Amino acid sequence: MNATKSLINCRGRLVTLDPPLIMGILNLTPDSFSDGGRFNNEKAALLQAEKMVREGAKIIDVGPQSTRPGADFLSSAEEIRRIGTLISVLKKEFSDVLVSVDTFYSETVEFAWNEGMDIINDISGGNFDPKMFEMAAKTGLPYVLMHVNSTYDTMHDKVIEEDIILNINRYFSEKCDLLLAAGVKDIILDPGFGFGKTVEQQHQMIDELEYIGFNGYPLLIGISRKSFIYKPLGKKPADITEETQNLHRKVLDKGARILRVHDVETTRSTIENHR
């Protein structure tokens, strides 16, 4: 694999990924698996964003829709309603912080782009909206490409029988060709922890992370409060801080450039001590 690209272009601003950046999770949903309902009004969301920025988050990932197993399926219109003016307010209050939006709708992307969004974070890899890649190219924003099963209804089904690394790399190869053909310039790869993989497959993904991806695209890793960590231990999502940071150290060793997390302060310490 080539050396990892260390810069992304966010609305004309070149952002370095060395040292790795922290993406703080800001759920606007009433039904997210670990913090549902805590930040689903603008005041609470802003206070949480301020806390994460103070603790070291360089990216705030706004999530208007839960994608946990069994979550309600929302329309783009409902996502846009939930976002409201939050992006523009975040950009005004925290001018140096990047804002990403976790959506699989091109309509939500267009709205968020006009509000000042910096990064598209699409869990569907363009599978759930055929206009997504075209819209990503139109915005010129970096695009987070996540590995996932091909439909919304099957995204959590554990159906991959071949070697998980081969499966992920084939998917990334095909999707990156489509993104580049559409005109997307900056691609960030997310292997898709928590989506349709067994516990064993996800630990293999961590152990062999250096073999995931190609062309030096930076890796985003989102393992925070994921069930493959806490369920085998018989713990709750918020009670696996030490285990999560141990795994963060492993993925940093193997080249991760962005960590998507709930616990910003502890992750910042992990990154600082890893240098």
Q: pLDDT tens across 215-257, in order? A: 789 999 999 999 999 999 999 999 999 999 999 999 999 999 9
d(CA 52, CA 25): 9
Q: What gap in Å lies between CA 119 and CA 143, rounded to an integer?
A: 6
Question: Counting beta carbons within 10 angstroms of the beta carbon of residue 185, is it exposed (0 to 12), middle (13 to 18) or buried (19 or more)?
Answer: middle
3-state DSSP call for residue 99? strand
Name the nearest CA neighbour of 228 among 252, 210, 215, 244.
244
pLDDT band at 11 (very low <50, low <70, confident <90, very high): very high
Query: In percent, how much of the chain has pLDDT > 90?
Result: 87
> Closest Cα to residue 144, out of 127, 117, 123?
123
In this prediction, residue 108 carries a pLDDT of 98
- Catalytically active residues are 226, 260
Examine the pLDDT at 34 and tell me if it is beyond 50. Answer: no
How many beta carbons lie within 10 A of that of residue 3, not counting itself? 7
Query: Which pair of tokens denotes residue 254?
Result: 């193997």
Domains of the chain listed by start with CATH number: 7-274 (3.20.20.20)
